Structure 1
Amino acid sequence: MEGIRLGIKLIAFDLEGTLVKSKSSWVELHKRFGTWDKGKEYAERFFRGEFDYQTWADLDASLWKGRKREEILEWANSVEYMEGVEELFQFLRENNFKIAIISGGLMCLAKRVADELNADYVFANELIFDEEGRVTGKVIARVDFQNKGEILAKLKEELKPSLTIAVGDGHNDIAMFKVADVSIAINPHEGVEGDYVAKDLKEVKEIIKRILEKRGQ
């Protein structure tokens, strides 16, 4: 068993701006439902340190209270993939990678992507719906601006992989980069640096291929 485990590799992806063309579940739903003015104010207050992430998430979701699950899923199902994602995931599975998606966005989108791409793990924030399938205004906040690294560290501890790679574009991915053996920043935001920089997922695949060749894996 230990010999098999030694062959396991782990890769963790950010979702929005990395695997799909959506930039932020929260912002896009605010714009869709006409609540962005208030949503922007809450974001500014969070970054000033006025309240914690759970409070921010609940305040955001409260602006959509009463909206139907179908309205949320209609948006989630409309989000397009980045080019090259299916080829990349196929390559990763062929090379014995366990694949995790760790997103500060919403589970309605993250789960769809995880299911369609056959990812092994998915972590994201979940809107709570009532018995009639309407938004309650409460959120299960699993992924905040600080804890992507903690989530990845737990997976590393559980799987004991021979190699851990993290791929992302934003400031909240830096914590994940610090835990990984190798980090790849894809079209990174200003101030976000990885061991490698890629312009698209095709380049991510080529970088990983080179890493595996160099390590003899």
Structure 2
Amino acid sequence: MVRLIAFDLEGTLVKSVSSWVELHKKFGTWDKGKEYAERFFAGEFDYATWAELDALLWKGHTKEEIMEWANSVEYMDGAWELIEFLRKNNFKIAILSSGLMCLARRIASELGVDYVFANELIFDENGVITGEVNPAVDFQSKGKILENLKKELDPELTVAVGDGYNDLSMFSVADVSIAINPHEGVEGDHNVESLHEVMEIIKELLG
């Protein structure tokens, strides 16, 4: 019987906090990026608009520059061991990230993850950022994505692991939610400080 686990990426499996913020800092656009974030949270525009406003600030930069950052991001302690344990125990593994696909795809490929969902910057034929973005994972859609995976797989157990406000929608869909070093106001069925603790909880769930 198949089991399903969905991970947030940044702050959960890897040490990056936010690909958006870190690229703003790399490209020197954080002042404007911070302003856009504040305006989004004030309700001035929707997530897709916010993502495009951010991406427009990086227009003209290259995929090579983005990947230089993405390839520098380190794993959280215990990530490899946890994924190996899950695969041995019939889990289908998904990454649901409201960060950027350039990082999510690298991690999914290295870890051998089954499904990966993230926001995708659009590049032209020369690998240059166009300012467009495919906003596949907004602040509410993780729950809907996880719901769809559950319908497809009909798992006997669904677990969600994350740290942020945008993970709450997938927490509500999972049978068991695990919050790792959660942001203020975020709680799971279990609150932990490391991926080693996540593995111990899953061992208990499996009996």
TM-score bin, normalised by smaller chain: over 0.9
Structure 2 CA distance for aligned equivalents of residues 197 and 42 of structure 1: 31
Matched, 1:50 2:61: no
1:4 match:
none
Residue 62 (structure 1) shift: 0.3
2:60 match:
66
Matched, 1:20 2:14: yes
Residue 89 (structure 1) shift: 0.4
Structure 2 CA distance for aligned equivalents of residues 167 and 96 of structure 1: 17
Larger Rg over CA atoms: 1
| SS at structure 1 position matched to 2:71 | helix
Structure 2 CA distance for aligned equivalents of residues 53 and 174 of structure 1: 17
2:100 match:
106
Structure 2 CA distance for aligned equivalents of residues 53 and 185 of structure 1: 24
Give the one of 147, 156, 160 matched to 1:153: 147
Identity %: 73
Residue 198 (structure 1) shift: 1.2
* Aligned AA (2:151): E
| SS at structure 2 position matched to 1:46 | helix
Structure 1 CA distance for aligned equivalents of residues 193 and 125 of structure 2: 44
Structure 2 CA distance for aligned equivalents of residues 109 and 166 of structure 1: 20
Structure 2 CA distance for aligned equivalents of residues 114 and 133 of structure 1: 21
TM-score, scaled to structure 2: 0.99
Matched, 1:125 2:105: no
Structure 1 CA distance for aligned equivalents of residues 119 and 65 of structure 2: 17
* Aligned AA (2:40): F
Matched, 1:96 2:97: no
Matched, 1:41 2:35: yes
| SS at structure 2 position matched to 1:78 | coil
Structure 1 CA distance for aligned equivalents of residues 125 and 164 of structure 2: 35
1:179 match:
173
Task: Spell out the pairing of 1:1-16 with structure 2 (5 A cutoff).
Answer: 7-16=1-10
Give the one of 56, 64, 77 matched to 1:83: 77
1:3 match:
none
Residue 77 (structure 1) shift: 0.2
Residue 197 (structure 1) shift: 1.1
Structure 2 CA distance for aligned equivalents of residues 148 and 196 of structure 1: 19
CA offsets 1:73-122 (integer angstroms, 9 cap, x no match): 00000000000001000000000000000000000000000000000000
Which runs of 5 or more residues in structure 2 are unaligned? none
2:192 match:
198
Task: Spell out the pairing of 1:202-217 with structure 2 (5 A cutoff).
Answer: 202-213=196-207
Which aligned segments of 4 or more residues in structure 1 are displaced greater than 6 angstroms? Answer: none
